[in-house]
Amino acid sequence: MALDCTSLTKLTLVLCVAACGFPPVSGCSDAYGRAIPPLSSCSDAYGRAISDFCVTKFTLDMKALDQSLWCSWSDTFQPYEELTNCTYSVAHKMHCFWPNQQIDELFIRLHRDYFHDCALTGRLLRDPPIRILGPFIGVPVLVTLLMTALVVWSGKCCQGIV
C-alpha cells in the first residue's frame, strides 16, 4: 500500500508539474482523487523524489554554467533558489517537514561538489596582485619624470634662440 501511494504520488507530481508548473497544494491524492493518508516518515520516498526531480535540474543548470562562475552568487543564485523552492514544494505536497534530514544531507553533498573552493569573502572587490599593480603605478611615475626631464632639457637647449 505504501509503495503504491509513493509511486502514484510521484507519477501525479511529475505529470502535474510537467503539465502546469507547480499546482496548488491539495494534499497527497492518487490518480482517482482518493485522499491518501500522509506518510509517517519521509525518508526514502522524499529523498528519491527530490533526487529525481529537483536535483537533476540543478545539476543540468550548473553544468550549463561555466565552472569559473560557480562561486559567483549572481550567477548561481537562480538554480540554487529553484532547487530550494522545488524541495520545499515537494515536501509540502508530500506532507513532509521542511527542512529535514534529506535536505541537509543533499545540501551538504551539493556544497561539497560545487562550492568547496569558494573563498569565504566571496567576490568582494579587492586590489589586483602586485605584479599588475606595480606597472600600473610605476609607468605613470616614470613617464612623469621623463616628461619633466624633457621640459627642462627643452628650456636648456633653446637658450639664445629667440
Partner 1 sequence: MQRRCFHSESSFVCCVWLYVAGGAGLYCNRTWDGWLCWDDTPAGTVTWQNCPNYFPDFDSTEKATKICSESGQWFRHPDTNRTWSNYTLCNFHTTGKLKMAYILYYMAIVGHALSIASLLISLAIFFYFRNLSCQRITLHKNLFVSYVLNSALTLIYLIAVVNNPDVVGRNPVGCKVLHFFHMYMLGCNYFWMLCEGIYLHTLIVVAVFAEEQHLHWYYLLGWGFPLVPASIHAVARKKYFDDNCWMSVETHLLYVVHGPIMAALLVNLFFLLNIVRVLVTKLRDTHRAESNMYMKAVRATLILVPLLGIQFVIFPWRPENRLAGEVYDYIMHILMHYQGLLVATIFCFFNGEVQAALKRQWIQYKAQWGQRRRDHCSMRSTSYTATSITEVPAFMYHHDCNSEHLNGRHTSEDSELVALKTGETYA
Establish if 78 lies at the interface with partner 1 (CB under 8 A).
no
Question: What residues form DSSP beta bridges with 29?
Answer: 35
Whole-angstrom Cα distance, residue 126 to residue 156? 45
Closest distance to partner 1 from the beta carbon of 59 (Å): 17
Which residue from 15, 60, 97, 115 is in contact with partner 1, where contact means CB under 8 A? 115
CA dihedral defined by 136, 140, 143, 147, rounded to 10 degrees? 170
Residue closest to 44 by CA, chosen among 52, 33, 36: 52
Nearer of residues 28 and 62 to partner 1, judged by Cβ: 62
State which of residues 4, 44, 52, 81 lies at the interface with partner 1 (CB under 8 A). Answer: 81
- Is 45 or 83 the residue whose CB approaches partner 1 more closely? 83
Task: Tell me how far apart the alpha carbons of residues 86 and 54 are, in angstroms, rounded to a whole number.
Answer: 6
Write out the residues near partner 1 by the rule CB under 8 A.
73-74, 77, 80-81, 84, 99, 103, 107-108, 111-112, 115-116, 118-123, 125-128, 132-133, 136-141, 143-145, 147-148, 150-152, 154-156, 158-160, 162
